[in-house]
Amino acid sequence: MRKRLADGTVKEYHYPKKRNVTTNPDTSLGTVGHVLTLYYISPEFTRIRPVTRSNRRLYLREMEKMAEKPIRDITRKMLIEIRDSIAYGRGPGAANGFLAITKTFFGWALDREWVDINPAMAIPLLPRGSLPAWTKEAVQNAEKTLDPALWRVVVLGVFTGQRRSDLCRMQWSDVKNGFIYVRQQKTGTELRIPIHPILASKLEEWRGDSPYILTTHTDAPWKPVVLTTAMCRAAKQGKIPKGFNVHGLRKLAATLLAEAGCTTHEIASITGHKTLAMVQHYTLSADQERLAKGAVSRMETSFWKPQENDG
């Protein structure tokens, strides 16, 4: 494929016959598949971080299903139907993720004059509440209802407070001298998380041949998307409360630390949050309850005592 650059020079691109995309390399000019293929090798796509590229391609799989359709025929109505389908199956967060990535893709196509309008631009995001935090009771019940592979995720999530991607990446080589060493994939933050005695005993039970701490029942390392799907399936089966996911374990970890009297800075040293405002958001209810108990205990109530009779 030849392309004329802004300075007038012509650059030639060569692509392998077998690609890591589901689009057909022989799709006709101007189809969704053709434009997606161009987007995947564009500077705007290739310069972003690998994890971001992976996430974008995950959401764009819905567009790849329409690879043979002319991209100019994609309408706002079609995208809304896809959004609603995703929301029904995976929740409003996933639906909004699809909209955001699709809007970016069509914006890129608009700049390249493959389309005349961005059909995703005017589609509103779906309202979504904050993801629920796990409760202590839910964790206790999960030990009885979840299979061992998912139960380990719950334990490691509660005692480390890490994101889904970082839990999946933890290896036995990261466990050293009473700490778990983490380099967070999202922020690049490096953490040394002290291993709680209960977690230490669990790690001794779990150690196996895999280099990864968390593995599926087939001893393969968990992939973040597969883990989310497994959690959703467990919720549909009634094994955990509806809406509970891996991120809720991170919230519970922050809440437990707040209930133990940890400061916002101490909590952030475990979770790795860059902004203290987000930690305060997670721990607001715990702080309110703890502070309220202290306030009520100091309330002056001597006037309530019955007065002694003089006679």
Q: Where does residue 279 rank: exposed (0-12), middle (13-18), buried (19+ CB within 10 A)?
A: buried
Single-letter residue type at 237:
Q
Domain 136-296 has CATH 1.10.443.10: yes
Which one of 16-20, 54-58, 175-179, 273-277 scores highest in mean pLDDT?
A: 175-179
Q: Which of residues 141 and 296 earns the better pLDDT score?
A: 141
**Dihedral sign (CA 221, 167, 160, 89):** negative
Instruction: Give the number of other CB atoms < 10 A from CB of residue 266.
Output: 13
Q: What is the pLDDT of residues 230-268, one digit of tens each?
A: 998 999 899 999 888 888 899 889 888 888 878 888 888
| Residue 196: HSE in the Cβ half-sphere, 13 Å Cα cutoff | 13
Q: What is the pLDDT of residues 124-176, one digit of tens each?
A: 988 876 678 899 999 999 999 999 999 999 999 999 999 999 999 999 999 99
Domain assignments of the chain as residue spans, ordered by start = 12-111, 136-296
Q: Closest by alpha carbon to 270, among 257, 252, 281, 288?
A: 257
> Does residue 19 carry a pLDDT above 70?
no
Mean pLDDT of 183-208: 91
Q: Which of residues 258 and 89 earns the better pLDDT score?
A: 258
Single-letter residue type at 49:
R
pLDDT band at residue 205 under the 50/70/90 scheme: very high
Task: Please give the torsion angle defined by the CA atoms of residues 72, 77, 83 and 85, in that order, rounded to the nearest 10 degrees.
Answer: -120
46: Cβ contacts below 8 Å, ≥ 6 apart:
40, 53
pTM higher than 0.85 = no
